[in-house]
Structure 1
Amino acid sequence: MKIPFERTISGAYRFAFANILSLLGIAWLPYFLMAALIGGGIYLYGPQVVAAFNVMAAQPKPAPQDALRFFGLIVGAELLILPVFLILTAMVNVGVMRKALGQHPGPVFVFFSLGSQVWRLVGSYLIFTLIFAGLLMLLVALGMGLYFALAQASQGGAIAASILFGIFGYFFVIYAAVRTYFFIPAIVVAENHIGIRRSWHLGAGNFWRIIGIVLIMTIPLSMAAQTIMQPVLQFYMGGAVQTLPPHASPEEMKQFFSMIWTAIKHAGPWLLVIQLVQMGLSSGLMGGAIAQAYNLVTGGPEIVPPKASA
């Protein structure tokens, strides 16, 4: 069944703004823990990363060991943060989905859960990632096989066919990922199972509707948050818009990133509050849209805002 586009959008916005305090209640603790983890990583690794970058920037051609140290610090920090980030994101998505599907009708002031639904959603995300990593490797292998098979007859024809196959593979992966990913949180919470195949089935014929829903849920809120955050950051940078000049010298690059780092440290608490509110509302909008679309394509009840008491 096709997702009713307008009803999904309107239902998501009604849900988000009618339950804004509960959405912030669901999101604030997991996202605060996430921010604390990132902040701790920046506090511990930030000076080392800046020092490693300055060593590279001071050389016309950075030494391989200096570049390896710089990127090793970044990748190492990401590998430490990523598992916790995945669990906390799944936690928020489960909390929002329970609220949107009516499983938690009362107000929510704080939410923290490591229950079965959270782990199912984490498992769904991991399986989804493995499936599409395997799909990418398969397409690359097929593309290479196609090239070598055709190169025996015509080098130009092999290149052209490989390019066309690469374009097809690129768009197919995007299509399959969007179609499969969208309904996973709703299926995990509503049906209590890892619903990769079910999500693929529900997403049939809805690719462009899903793209439109995601854009309408995310772009306006992101623009509003950036509109607020940029003046805050510029205030701590001296009030002027600072840009890195073209063909900047190593010393100019060092000064620029040092200034950015100092401004972020001072503006951090304000930026954190803005980010937490944005992420809470964004989770509510997307969760409301997914729940509304799920109910509409499966015959469930539409999301309606709570009635005001007389």
Structure 2
Amino acid sequence: MSQPEPGNQPQWGSQPQWGGQPPSDNQPQWGSPPQWGNQPYPGQAWGAPVDPRWQAAGLPPYGQPRYIAPPKPGIVPLRPLLFGEIMDGAFQTIRRNAKTMFSSALIVQIISTGLSGVASIGFLTMAKVPAGGFTSQAEAMSFFGPVIGMMAGVMAISLLSAVLSAILQGVLAIPVTRSALNRRTGFKQMWSLARSRILPLVGYGLLLLAGYLAIVVIVVLLGAIILASLGPVGLVLAIPLGLVAVAACVWIYTKLMVAPAAITVEELGVFAGIQRSWGLTTGSWWRIFGIVLLVTFMVGVIGSVVQMPISMATGGITAVVSPHASTQQLTTTTIVLTVVSLIVSALVGAVGFAFQTSVAALIYMDLRMRRDGLDLELLRLLETGEDPDGIPGRHAVRQANFRPWPPASGQGYPHG
């Protein structure tokens, strides 16, 4: 069989021209690495011009996407948030808007704590148990009358505190959302932005209280019927019934966690805000519950540590200052120590409430980033500087299931 002549080998493909290698004296010098940016893109031949579509996409060689960290102009990065970022963002919000948030929370705490203190002091001064016990029905009524009145007063104060807390939770969402774009919020500015949302927040608080009271009344009536019908054996049914009621209240509270923020930021009504919170928290209940439980535990532990020395010192101060004091002197000392304890409690409670409210507002923002693409709206506001004195996200268009999180298998987001 005849072989091909030398120099007439068949062309197996477009092999590179090895004869075109640069001479040895033109090799790159040490310390000057080759420019990898000049390597071909997918489908591009060596030496061919770069496809402008790949250049416009900002892709490096071989089509691998270049990672670009999401911007963080304020307290949190503009993307769905992690647990640590929510905690850090809450601390930063309070630090950047300390006067606005702490003063507002302190006002509510002073009102609630002050009313509780008045009720406690009134009980101490009016309810006096005779040394020899009750000798008549009139003496018994003189003791139990203030007790019943104090219990009613405490319940009324608790209801008022719950309504005030719902209002403040919605109002304090304003500096949190503004801090996401590094916009500080003054005390007057915050309440001016929230002025039109006060009535819906009051309605939400009253409706929430009515729902909880309805649950309590139903459980108490059912428990009384069970105990009256079955006697002590009815405790086997009454105790689980109470636990179910507690679980139901916790579940409802978690589902409605972001309703005040939605009412304020998105200018929704009472029922629309409840529906909005219900929809946002769907599929994220356990995550929200875990965050709220951990934050509540942290705030409770810190508050107990701060107030424990005062509680322990109460008995010691009474024994040192008035070791053989009369009943009147003992009552006066107890009142003074109660006032001091209430002041410390109000200060600690204000800080704790501001932190918990910031966490709730950041959870709301995180849910909207995952479901509505709020981060894209915040990026637009960051680039354009639009509405610098307003509430970010107030006029954003909500799109149902805009971008569920986490993404489906095989799908990713540039800043996720």
Q: Secondary structure at the match of 1:56?
A: coil
Distance change >3 Å, CA 118–CA 136, structure 1 → 2: same
Report the equivalent of 2:278: 200
Report the equivalent of 2:252: 177
1:73: how far off? Answer: 3.3
Number of residue pairs the alignment of both structures matches: 284
Q: Which runs of 5+ in 1 are unaligned?
A: 1-5, 242-250
Asked whether the equivalents of residues 94 and 189 of structure 1 are also in contact (C-alpha less than 8 Å), the reply is: yes
Report the equivalent of 1:117: 197
Q: How does 1:104-183 map to 2 (within 5 A)?
A: 105=181, 106-110=183-187, 111-112=190-191, 115-134=195-214, 166=241, 169-170=244-245, 173-174=248-249, 176-183=251-258
Match of 1:68 among 142, 145, 160: 145
Report the equivalent of 2:170: 94
Match of 1:51 among 125, 143, 157: 125
Match of 1:189 among 264, 277, 286: 264
Distance change >3 Å, CA 299–CA 135, structure 1 → 2: farther
Distance in 2 between residues matched to 1:65 and 1:95, nearest whole Å = 44
For residues 243-265 of structure 1, give each alpha carbon's deviation from its aligned partner in whole angstroms, at most 9, with x where no partner exists. Answer: xxxxxxxx9x9999876543233
For residues 247-297 of structure 1, give each alpha carbon's deviation from its aligned partner in whole angstroms, at most 9, with x where no partner exists. Answer: xxxx9x999987654323345555543333333223223332343234334
Which protein, 1 or 2, shows the higher relative CO under an 8 Å CA cutoff with sep ≥ 6? 1
Percent of residue pairs bearing the same amino acid type? 16
Distance in 2 between residues matched to 1:57 and 1:28, nearest whole Å = 44
Distance change >3 Å, CA 22–CA 87, structure 1 → 2: farther
Report the equivalent of 1:3: none
Distance change >3 Å, CA 259–CA 294, structure 1 → 2: farther
Q: Secondary structure at the match of 2:185?
A: coil
Look at both structures and tell me which one has the larger radius of gyration over its CA atoms. Answer: 2
Distance change >3 Å, CA 255–CA 215, structure 1 → 2: farther
Report the equivalent of 2:11: none
For residues 183-204 of structure 1, give each alpha carbon's deviation from its aligned partner in whole angstroms, at most 9, with x where no partner exists. Answer: 2123212332222223223333
Match of 2:363 among 282, 289, 303: 289
Asked whether the equivalents of residues 226 and 238 of structure 2 are also in contact (C-alpha less than 8 Å), the reply is: no
Distance in 2 between residues matched to 1:45 and 1:142, nearest whole Å = 31
1:16: how far off? Answer: 1.4
Distance in 2 between residues matched to 1:146 and 1:228, nearest whole Å = 43
1:237: how far off? Answer: 5.2
1:167: how far off? Answer: 6.6
Distance in 1 between residues matched to 2:158 and 2:353, nearest whole Å = 18
Asked whether the equivalents of residues 96 and 284 of structure 1 are also in contact (C-alpha less than 8 Å), the reply is: yes
Report the equivalent of 2:63: none
Distance in 2 between residues matched to 1:190 and 1:160, nearest whole Å = 46
Asked whether the equivalents of residues 167 and 205 of structure 2 are also in contact (C-alpha less than 8 Å), the reply is: no
Q: Which has the higher helix share?
A: 1
1:129: how far off? Answer: 2.9
Query: Which range moved further: 28-37 or 67-76?
Result: 28-37
Match of 1:37 among 111, 121, 126: 111
Q: Secondary structure at the match of 1:107?
A: coil
Distance change >3 Å, CA 239–CA 206, structure 1 → 2: farther
Distance change >3 Å, CA 264–CA 179, structure 1 → 2: closer
For residues 158-179 of structure 1, give each alpha carbon's deviation from its aligned partner in whole angstroms, at most 9, with x where no partner exists. Answer: 9799669837853662364134
Report the equivalent of 1:14: 88
Q: How does 1:252-263 map to 2 (within 5 A)?
A: 260-263=334-337
TM-score by length of 2: 0.53
